[in-house]
Amino acid sequence: MKSWLNNLRVVGLFFLLVSLGYLWTAQSIPLDFWSEQEPFNARSLPYLIGTACVFVSLLLLALPSPSFDWSLLRGLNIGPAVMMLSLLSTYGFMIDKLGFLFSTFCLLAAGFFLLGERRPLRIISIAAGVTGIFWVIMDLLGIYLNPGDLFLDWS
Amino acid sequence: MIDGILLGLQTVLTLQNLGLVLAGCAAGTFIGMLPGLGPISAIALMIPVTYGFDPASGMILLAGVYYGAIFGGSTSSILINAPGVAGTVATAFDGYPLSQQGKAGKALAVAAYASFAGGTIAAVFLVLAAPSLAELSLSFQSADYFILMLLGLALVAAFSERGDYLKAILMTIVGLMLSTVGTDLSAGVQRFTFGRMDLIDGISFLLLAMATFALAEAFMMVLKPTPKAETQFPTYADLSLSRKDVKRIVPSIGRSSVLGFLVGTLPGAGATIASFLAYGMERNIVSPAEREQFGKGSLAGLAAPEAANNAACTGSFVPLLTLGIPGSGTTAVLLGALIAYGVQPGPRLFIDAPEVFWSVIVSMYFGNMILLVLNLPLIPQIARVLLLPRPILVPLIMFFSVMGVYLVSFNSFDIQLMLMIAVAAVVLRLLTFPMAPLLLGFILGGMLEDNLRRAITLSDGSWSFLWDRPLTLALVMVTTVVIITPLIRYILPQKRLREAS
């Protein structure tokens, strides 16, 4: 079982499910009376692509393929990657609330630290420098960066 | 044609545009040098910068970035044996041994001269070929475009390695699926938006390019840290070449440039295939004594892939500018940028916006010149980027990727969507699935649907448009062969393998 389930089949199985879901959703694309009569409407291409995806996924599942060495994925640094992902996601939620300057400084400083930089002076100076220079360039280009809803509420 | 070149020169030779070529080359070299970040990431990262400019200036900057990224990739191939770009892997075969022998300066100079010569020869071909091909393609109809786009998508998969054919096809289809998210413009109905306002406009191509390339590469750097680059670079003060060296590389450059340009014009075959083909061809052509040197620091072995990859980059602009069909992931991103500027590439570009058409061609040549005149002497300074520690570099790449997308929409939902796509891209990359076909499928999806709708409507709902005109029929036959042949080649050995076991 383990050798049968190689990388091609894992992805094939995943996209088989995705394409079935895609086809099912395509059925509920709203069409008015006239569009339904047209030979090519908003559902046509999704049906074609969805069917093609089902076909290719089935080929990936059915055709014999070399086994995949799953141990290659064992030595990955998953911890720091997940932490960086959470950091970026938090940044996405906070940028409108805390404003560009504060949230960007925090993102960069925390990112440097998470990935192994330990010199505080270096962390603070680079994070502050990049944030400041980026903000000045955007200001010169006339691009408005939100100072943050929280700060706007206070003022 | 002369008028066109003059128009291009007039557009490029302004202080602003010359500055943009220069900035583009420098930024491209800088980004391309970072292992993992290739021209697609470099261009995607620079697109937000270009939104303030007119289309011609924007394309001038991006063409500079493209060449710069390839040049930067060669530099890291030669200096630290870490190609920043797939197209410069073959450069490392002979470039790195040369640098280990203390001839890094000579290797960098050969790479720069070969790139310049490859770019020059290809630019001449482009000037000769593009306008006539654009005029010819004016006779193409929707049905032909539909088939040509299918052919382009199929060729990308067909040119992938044998075992990767189905992976590339699947990724192309997934790209097409993603392109259907958003409002269908013909009927004005929403598709696959799941009631979310943020998805009404669909997924932006910049978001997808940034998520699947720049951001995914940054995450790969965290997941698989590469051994630290040597902190001591080889010395390369001497950039001169002897007369004997020049004599040795000139024929290789000539042959490889022509081959590179021809391979580059084929949709699907880009700089990577061109550079490997040129390297292989040179090894077969040169004298047995020189062949012995291949892989150990042969100048011809370094010049050939360098000339070919640059010529192929120029060649890849032929289908983009004349048909509006990108042949590679990189030209797909450039196409996305053009569409974002409100310019529709294709045969009409040559007529409707000749200043864009010609300024891209002329600026590519200027880009080559600037790389030779300015970047080569500045390489020791620019190469310092290789010494930037990963803990500093990776968060910066991530920040610039996220900001590039956020600054276009100012919608923080885009950041979350981008992260989701990046995670999926990283997982698919780890499972050895390629990302460039996905990008190409995504960018061609909308155009493919428009042309198919028009062709079917014009033929009253019948699929007979596929065989009504001889030109369309011929294209259909070629496309069928391109799709079926690799599939058979993929299935047959596997079947034999199963029978044997």
Q: Which residue of A has its CA nearest to B414?
A: A92
Given a cut of 50, whether residue B342 has pLDDT beyond it is yes
Supply the pTM of this predicted model: 0.86
Count of CA atoms in the C-beta half-sphere (13 A) of B281: 21
First to last CA, chain B: 62
Q: Which of A88-92, A101-105, B88-92, B446-450 has the lowest mean pLDDT?
A: B88-92
* pLDDT at residue B170, rounded to an integer: 96
Residue A21 is encoded by which pair of tokens? 């879901």
Which residues of chain A are within 8 Å of residue B461 when distances are taken between CB atoms?
38-40
Given a cut of 90, whether residue B326 has pLDDT beyond it is no
**For residue B396, what are the domain limits?**
2-500
Q: Which residue of B has its CA nearest to A97?
A: B412
pLDDT tens for B465-484 read: 999 899 999 999 999 998 99
Which residues of chain A are within 8 Å of residue B410 when distances are taken between CB atoms?
146
Summarize the confidence of residues B417-423 as an average pLDDT: 97
Interface touch B222/A80, C-beta < 8 Å: yes
* pLDDT at residue B391, rounded to an integer: 92
Interface touch B187/A31, C-beta < 8 Å: yes
Interface contacts A/B by beta carbons within 8 Å: 169
pLDDT tens for A60-84 read: 999 888 888 888 888 899 999 999 9
Residue B337 is encoded by which pair of tokens? 């940028």
Interface touch A44/B453, C-beta < 8 Å: yes
CA distances to A23, B44, B295 from B178, in Å = 13, 18, 43
* Average pLDDT across chain A, whole number: 89
pLDDT tens for B177-206 read: 999 999 998 888 999 999 899 999 999 988
Interface touch A40/B461, C-beta < 8 Å: yes
Interface touch B187/A41, C-beta < 8 Å: yes
Distance from the A155 Cα atom to the nearest Cα atom in chain B, whole angstroms: 22
Residue B70 is encoded by which pair of tokens? 């390839």
Q: What is the DSSP letter of B182?
A: E
Q: Which of A92, A108, A141 sits opposite B395 (nearest CB)?
A: A108
Summarize the confidence of residues B349-373 as an average pLDDT: 81
Q: Which of A11, A29, A30 sits opposite B433 (nearest CB)?
A: A11
Q: Where are the domains of chain A?
A: 7-73, 78-154
The burial of A43, by beta-carbon neighbours within 10 Å (0-12 exposed, 13-18 middle, 19 or more buried), is given as buried
Interface touch A10/B431, C-beta < 8 Å: yes
Interface touch B177/A26, C-beta < 8 Å: no
Tell me the one-letter amino acid at B202.
G
Given a cut of 50, whether residue B344 has pLDDT beyond it is yes
Q: Are A128 and A105 in contact (CB under 8 A)?
A: yes
pLDDT tens for B284-319 read: 888 888 888 888 889 999 999 999 999 998 888 888
Confidence grade of residue B231 (pLDDT, cut at 50, 70, 90): very low
Given a cut of 80, whether residue A92 has pLDDT beyond it is yes
Interface touch A46/B497, C-beta < 8 Å: no
* Average pLDDT across chain B, whole number: 86
Q: What are phi and psi of B283, to 5 degrees?
A: -65, -35
Which residues of chain B are within 8 Å of residue A117 when distances are taken between CB atoms?
389, 391-392
Q: Which of B241, B108, B266, B211 is nearest to B435 (CA)?
A: B211
Q: What angle do CA B146, B150, B155 make, to 5 degrees?
A: 145
Which residues of chain B are within 8 Å of residue A106 when distances are taken between CB atoms?
none
Q: Which of A57, A56, A33, A53 is nearest to A45 (CA)?
A: A53
Given a cut of 80, whether residue B269 has pLDDT beyond it is no
Crossing angle for the helix pair B243-265 and B271-285, nearest 10 degrees? 130
Interface touch B219/A41, C-beta < 8 Å: no
Cα separation, B191 vs A27, whole angstroms: 10
Given a cut of 80, whether residue B163 has pLDDT beyond it is no
Q: Are B210 and B418 in contact (CB under 8 A)?
A: yes
